[in-house]
Amino acid sequence: MSLTTFDTATSAVEKMRAIIARCDELEPRIGAFIHRNAEDALAQAAASDERRAAGKSLGPLDGVIVGVKDLISVKGHPLSCASRILENYVSPYDAHVAEKLKAAGAILWGRLNMDEFAMGSSCETSYFQKTHNPWDLERTPGGSSGGSAAAVAAGMCEIALGSDTGGSIRQPAAYCGIVGLKPTYGLVSRYGLAAFASSLDQIGPMGRTVADCAALLQAMAGHDERDSTSLKLTVPDYMSALAEPEKPVRIGLPKEYYTDGVDPEIRAAVDAAVEFYKSRGCEIKEVSLPHTDYAIPVYYIIAPAEASSNLSRYDGVRYTRRSPDAKTTYEVYCKSRGEGFGSEVKRRILLGSYALSSGYYDAYYLRAQKVRTLIRNDFLKAFEDVDVLLTPTTPHHPFRIGEKVDDPLSMYLEDIFTISVNLAGLPGLSMPCGFSSGGLPIGMQLIGKPLDETTLLKTAKTFEQAHNFKDAHPSL
């Protein structure tokens, strides 16, 4: 019996047609996709059916419908990063993860909406549209992978690819009541991922269940020589590990994450999860991550600094949109970038350029990197005594669309429990652990040791099997 929820019994073409019809019905209300090509998806599905009918299945993902966040390259598909400056760009090559998923027979379906260049926590900074949370259409699905989370939650794909620079997989997963995994930095190649902050970005799976995410991670993890940060290692068999009998683990509760700033309903749901693990024989221990308060300021020096460098390539000269009003070379640069980038992207480019400027590099960027090391060391010290850490994923429930868009600092603080994991390069997983009195999903976060996704997934599976949160669906 398969551990995943993927429908492999139905014809892939039949399944794809049902998904297309569902998207046609729901997309006007949700806005999860920037682009959909039904003809291409049906052709992929037909090829899968033909292979499987001939007894030549490419594996457990053959015929599975995978939505793709619109900053991951798929040859011949649009790649806009939800930005006007890449409005008409078509990718000429496949990302490493796209290559691996195609080789596994997956159907790569559509381009999912996101915050522009992954800069945001609400899916509101997209040039094209705002995405709505399927559980409450007046609320945000989170960001930046909001389109991916909303599409999975609404049943508009079976699983999706997201990317996580400071919580962009885990926060929307929590808001939309699904599972989202940010892998260890270097486990999944970044080749073909449009760069935001190169030392923080990671591609990861977003699905209905832990096993769904494990299956997708299994297919796309592994070394890629085209990414200098890609780790040379043997990818563990995550699916086989999930089938093994559960064993109690040592769980750490970082005291800095259990504060008065957490919504009482979220705190109660996470506390109930802690009690569940206690009942299963797990050892629960309070730990300390003393440099947690520095995570937000450190992140908002390092990430914008790297973004200002990475986004310098979008200049209106090569493959990006060029302003029709530009008459001189200077105007091509200034007007193309001024018209092509949204306000949040401009804000972060300016912050990053300042942090890297002459006379300020040592005071800001270099100092932030030193504190980043302290943050990582906090985690490594905590992991001497525990196997995983358990925290809330977010301090608050999904907020209303427009509620925080004019208050950048308030928006940034929504990622306060996820950012440290990226700074430390660790794996982190968000999964449903309850619902608010108003019916909104609540997510808890499990954080693992470097490259110990196996323990992380198994610990999450233990909780998931004993609860029915994975079976809840929004009323659409």
In a domain, 355, yes or no: no
In a domain, 260, yes or no: no
Active site residue 69: yes
In a domain, 141, yes or no: yes
In this prediction, the residues of the chain whose per-residue pLDDT falls under 70 are 1
pLDDT at residue 1, rounded to an integer? 54
Strand 202-207 relative to strand 428-435: parallel, antiparallel, unpaired? unpaired
In a domain, 207, yes or no: yes
Active site residue 228: no
User: What b/e string do you get for 33-67 counting C-beta neighbours within 10 Å, with b at 16 or more?
Assistant: bbebbbebbbebbebbbebbeeeebbebbbbbbbb
CATH of residue 153's domain is 3.90.1300.10
Active site residue 144: yes
* Structural domain for 100, as ranges: 12-248+454-471
Choosing from 91, 121, 144, 336, which is the catalytic residue? Answer: 144
Q: What secondary structure letter does DSSP report for 183?
A: P
pLDDT at residue 319, rounded to an integer? 76
CB 417 within 8 A of CB 267: no
Number of domains in the chain: 1
Cα torsion 83, 16, 134, 116 to 10°: value is: -10
In a domain, 244, yes or no: yes
The stretches of 280-342 forming alpha helices (DSSP H) are: 295-310, 329-340
User: What b/e string do you get for 155-193 counting C-beta neighbours within 10 Å, with b at 16 or more?
Assistant: bbbbbbbbbbbbbbbbbbbbbbbbbbbbbbbbbbbbbbb
* DSSP sequence for 352-364: HHHHHSTTTTIII
pLDDT at residue 413, rounded to an integer? 87
User: Phi/psi at 258 (nearest 5 deg)?
Assistant: -110, 75
Choosing from 122, 145, 163, 168, which is the catalytic residue? Answer: 168
Q: Which positions ≥6 away from 143 have C-beta within 8 Å? A: 114, 115, 120, 121, 122, 123, 124, 125, 168, 171, 172
In the numeric block, which tokens belong to residue 380?
Answer: 């490594």
pLDDT digits (tens, 9 = 90+) for 15-73: 999 999 999 999 999 999 999 999 999 999 999 999 999 999 999 999 999 999 999 99
In a domain, 130, yes or no: yes
DSSP, collapsed to helix, strand or coil, labels residue 175 as helix
Q: Is the whole model's pTM more than 0.75, yes or no?
A: yes
In a domain, 314, yes or no: no
Taken as a whole, the chain contains a residue count of: 476
In a domain, 328, yes or no: no
Choosing from 15, 69, 100, 458, which is the catalytic residue? Answer: 69
In the numeric block, which tokens belong to residue 285?
Answer: 């221990």
pLDDT digits (tens, 9 = 90+) for 183-233: 999 999 999 999 999 999 999 999 999 999 999 999 999 999 999 999 999
Please measure the distance between the N-terminal and C-terminal CA atoms of the chain and give it in whole angstroms.
30
